[in-house]
Amino acid sequence: DAGVIQSPRHEVTEMGQEVTLRCKPISGHDYLFWYRQTMMRGLELLIYFNNNVPIDDSGMPEDRFSAKMPNASFSTLKIQPSEPRDSAVYFCASSSRAGNTEAFFGQGTRLTVV
């Protein structure tokens, strides 16, 4: 398996624009997580899904953020409209069970909003 695949790797956009980040989890994994990494706040959980259903979105910072998982092999994180404070590295991770198994991370998307 190629692991968790995220696209794009880098995104530079202007304030106010819509940004869509994409993730393909490892085949067979039924949990998918979106995290955000910044220097100030470290690694924050934004939202996670189980069997394509959102379970906990309490980490989503504002209504400008939304996430979907239309099927088991694809998820998106959308920011509309984007703001400079959204600049961060966004990671997607997946795991087979959310108990004693580790999560596997993608390479991340570095988002810069100017």
Partner 1 sequence: AQSVAQPEDQVNVAEGNPLTVKCTYSVSGNPYLFWYVQYPNRGLQFLLKYITGDNLVKGSYGFEAEFNKSQTSFHLKKPSALVSDSALYFCAVRGYNQAGTALIFGKGTTLSVSS
- Regarding 105 and contact with partner 1 (CB under 8 A), the answer is yes
What are the distances in angstroms from CA 69 to CA 31, 32, 56, 85? Answer: 11, 9, 13, 25
- Regarding 12 and contact with partner 1 (CB under 8 A), the answer is no
Q: Which is nearer to partner 1, 71 or 100 (CB)?
A: 100
Q: Which is nearer to partner 1, 18 or 56 (CB)?
A: 56
Q: Which is nearer to partner 1, 73 or 107 (CB)?
A: 107
Residue found by looking up tokens 């390479």 in the block: 107
